[in-house]
Structure 1
Amino acid sequence: MTNKMIEKNEIVNRFNDYLGIEFLGLDEFGCKAMIRIRPELMNSIEGMVHGGVTSALADVVMGHGAAPPINGLQQCVTVENKMNYLSPAKGSVLFAESKVIKRGGTLIIMEAQVTTDHGELVAIATGTYARVKKSD
């Protein structure tokens, strides 16, 4: 993946902004992003990130990698995804990286890995994404 830096205003998504997702790279092969962990992203177990945060981060990098935003607007929606949680998400930052597995006319199959700032593999995900057409 080329490490094209993504400017904040290149991707318009209030949910991503709310979570604090920062984009590190995006090209036709996938996407890289990170999220800085803060107390409100934790579950009730001390020091552990809520699984929904991990899942959201994986979904975001897969969706953006499947069909990169144009003029800040997303170009696909999630059809389905699956998460395998491998270890607790602990640390100060989570990183996610996606790659295209198969690109079809409308559907794109993606894979993502989520790791901690210590390099520990937290989760792997697969997903199917559908291109959306702008209504006229």
Structure 2
Amino acid sequence: MGSLQQDALRMLGEALVNNIPFNRHIGLKYQTVSEEECVITFDMKPELVGNYIQGILHGGVISSAMDMVGGTMAAVGILHRNPATHLDELKQKIAKLSTIDLRVDFLRPGRGETFYAKAELLRAGKKVAVVRAELVNENNTQIAVATGTFMVG
């Protein structure tokens, strides 16, 4: 992978995760993004509790993390289809990126101290990208899985 490609991937991860105020509010942090996978993390905090009796993660936070990591991976699909995309052109395309559909399956209660949302690209088309994502805790216990469809063109 060339230097331009690596710069573009890093820019994607930082821009889509770290620069969006809502993501900062809930504590999402960009970790890595590559052609194969994107990973973001966040720590449990009292503001993220959805079930105050059990003290577990709110389903909306889980969905937001899956949407963010999936959208970032969908943006990687733009690069995947055209590796020579310039950063300015990539920024214009990212501005049009949107979620069409996100299906989240909640498998276990959201217990943990640190959570990792991971996504992989299943298909990158001219207009639509399909992504598979999962959320695990620090013990690698799978909490949720998701499939997302994103508008990329």
Give TM-score scaled by structure 2 length.
Answer: 0.75
Aligned residues: 128
> What amino acid does structure 2 have at the position aligned with 1:37?
M
Structure 2 equivalent of residue 36 of structure 1: 43
> What amino acid does structure 2 have at the position aligned with 1:95?
Y
Q: Which moved more, 1:45-54 or 1:107-116?
A: 45-54
Contact 1:89 1:122 in 2 (8 A): yes
> What amino acid does structure 1 have at the position aligned with 2:72?
H
- Deviation sequence 1:46-87 (CA, Å, 0-9, x none): 32011111111011000001105749x655110011000100
> What amino acid does structure 2 have at the position aligned with 1:131?
V
Paired with 1:59 and 1:114, the residues of 2 have a C-alpha distance of 11
> What amino acid does structure 1 have at the position aligned with 2:43?
R
Structure 2 equivalent of residue 45 of structure 1: 53
Paired with 1:88 and 1:74, the residues of 2 have a C-alpha distance of 34
Structure 2 equivalent of residue 84 of structure 1: 105
Paired with 2:96 and 2:69, the residues of 1 have a C-alpha distance of 13
Give TM-score scaled by structure 1 length.
Answer: 0.83
Which structure carries more strand by proportion? 1
Structure 1 equivalent of residue 34 of structure 2: 27
Where has structure 1 moved over 4 Å in runs of 4 or more? Answer: 4-7
Structure 1, unaligned runs of 5 or more: none
The counterpart of 1:10, out of the listed 11, 14, 18, is 14
% identical aligned pairs: 26
Describe the shift of the 1:117–1:131 C-alpha distance in structure 2 as closer, same or farther (beyond 3 A): same
Structure 2 equivalent of residue 100 of structure 1: 121
Which structure carries more helix by proportion? 2
Contact 2:108 2:143 in 1 (8 A): yes
